[in-house]
């Protein structure tokens, strides 16, 4: 796919579901992303796509991309890098490693970039899509274990968890660990799940799960939105362990409003996403209840 430069804000007000047709029932190909005869359980192997969102990650990508396999479990893998308005050579580095590149003219945020990347999969056939960050915090060595439940049809979404093996903080910054700990208690109570790492961006999903997504947040709300979408659609979600990697780079949460205000904005976005998710889920399923948060 040739590099393009669409404006990310053109899709900011549209949900993924409004741009892509819903998936057909399990066992069939998803017309939203192209069709095949028998998506699950057949001999033909389709593409696996990896979507990376990147903002000023030329150095990290130069190290990361050579480590990402181009085949996994017999499937060819293609990488799509969404350059979120970088001012460095992020796009050039990605293209030099054979990736498809789609660019935003200005920095729009991770959520907006994910929508832009997902939109590139319309009318394409594939068996799975991997989401990973471009900053080096997601080890490509975990890809085979993360995608296996998808290819084996034992899960619709796999979340790479930094805490499933051990809940200890390790090298996780205190502020992130605290927010994660509170969110785990709230989400597991209201959704009836057992998620240990709700903010992990290292995920794999099948076409049906992807077609169910309705992502509206522009920043870091997408991981939470995915969990609520999975609950509403009764999708199978599992976690697999991944390493905690923190390389000391400046968090992109500070990119727009600085260190303090940037983090406050992100946490406020998390809170709004949880409330919206609960209210919307209540409209289709009476099991989650806002009262449970305070009980």
Can you give the CATH number for the domain in which 59 is found? Answer: 3.90.550.10
254 found inside a domain: yes
pTM of the model: 0.77
Average pLDDT of 45-64?
Answer: 95
Across 2-6, 72-76, 229-233, 260-264, least confident range:
2-6
Across 76-90, 165-179, 180-194, 277-291, least confident range:
277-291
| pLDDT score for 263 | 66
Confidence of residue 210 (pLDDT cuts 50, 70, 90): very high
Cα-based torsion angle of the residue sequence 279, 15, 265, 130 in order, rounded to the nearest 10 degrees: 110
2 found inside a domain: no
Question: Side-chain half-sphere of 219: how many Cα atoms within 13 Å?
Answer: 19
248 found inside a domain: yes
213 found inside a domain: yes
Average pLDDT of 163-169?
Answer: 77
User: For residue 108, how far is the Cα from the chain centroid?
Assistant: 16
Of 144, 139, 132, the residue nearest 74 (C-alpha): 144
- Pairwise pLDDT comparison (36 vs 259), residue with the higher score: 259
Of 71, 136, 83, the residue nearest 113 (C-alpha): 83
Question: What range does the domain containing 114 cover?
Answer: 8-294
Average pLDDT of 181-209?
Answer: 90
DSSP H/E element including 159? strand 157-161
What Å distances lie between residue 63 and 2, 48, 94, CA to CA?
A: 23, 21, 11
3 found inside a domain: no
Average pLDDT of 121-129?
Answer: 92
Of 280, 100, 82, the residue nearest 190 (C-alpha): 280
Task: Classify residue 174 by burial, with Cβ atoms within 10 Å: 0-12, 13-18, 19+.
Answer: exposed
1 found inside a domain: no
Confidence of residue 106 (pLDDT cuts 50, 70, 90): very high
271 found inside a domain: yes
3-state DSSP assignment of residue 129: strand
Query: pLDDT digits over 109-124, tens only?
Result: 999 999 999 999 988 9
275 found inside a domain: yes
What Å distances lie between residue 62 and 110, 117, 190, 293, CA to CA?
A: 20, 20, 41, 44
Average pLDDT of 6-24?
Answer: 37
What Å distances lie between residue 133 and 29, 136, 139, 210, 236, CA to CA?
A: 28, 7, 10, 18, 23
The total of structural domains in the chain comes to: 1
User: For residue 102, how far is the Cα from the chain centroid?
Assistant: 17
Q: Is the pLDDT of residue 24 over 60?
A: no
Distance CA 230, CA 232 (A): 6
């Amino acid at each position: 796919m040739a590099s393009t430069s669409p404006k990310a804000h053109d899709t900011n007000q549209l949900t993924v579901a409004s741009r892509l047709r819903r998936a057909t029932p399990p066992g069939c190909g998803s017309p939203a992303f192209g069709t095949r005869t028998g998506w699950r359980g057949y001999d033909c192997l389709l593409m696996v796509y990896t979507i990376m969102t990147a903002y000023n990650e030329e150095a990290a990508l130069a190290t990361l991309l050579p480590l990402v396999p181009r085949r996994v479990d017999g499937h060819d893998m293609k990488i799509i890098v969404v350059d979120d308005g970088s001012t460095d050579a992020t796009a050039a580095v990605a293209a030099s490693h054979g990736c498809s590149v789609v660019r935003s003219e200005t920095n729009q945020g991770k959520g907006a970039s994910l929508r832009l990347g997902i939109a590139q999969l319309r009318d394409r056939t594939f068996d799975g899509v991997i989401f990973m960050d471009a900053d080096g915090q997601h080890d490509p060595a975990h890809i085979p274990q993360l995608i296996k439940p998808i290819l084996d049809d034992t899960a619709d979404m796999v979340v790479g968890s930094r805490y499933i093996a051990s809940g200890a903080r390790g090298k996780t910054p205190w502020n992130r660990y605290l927010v994660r700990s509170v969110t785990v208690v709230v989400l597991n109570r209201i959704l009836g799940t057992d998620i240990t790492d709700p903010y992990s961006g290292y995920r794999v999903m099948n076409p049906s799960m992807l077609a169910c997504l309705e992502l509206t947040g522009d920043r870091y709300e997408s991981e939470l939105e995915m969990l609520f979408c999975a609950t509403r659609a009764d999708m199978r979600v599992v976690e697999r362990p991944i390493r905690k990697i923190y390389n000391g780079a400046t968090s992109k949460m500070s990119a727009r409003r600085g260190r303090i205000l940037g983090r406050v904005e992100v946490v406020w976005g998390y809170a709004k996403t949880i409330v919206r998710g609960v209210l919307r889920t209540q409209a289709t399923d009476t099991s989650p209840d806002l009262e449970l948060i305070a009980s």
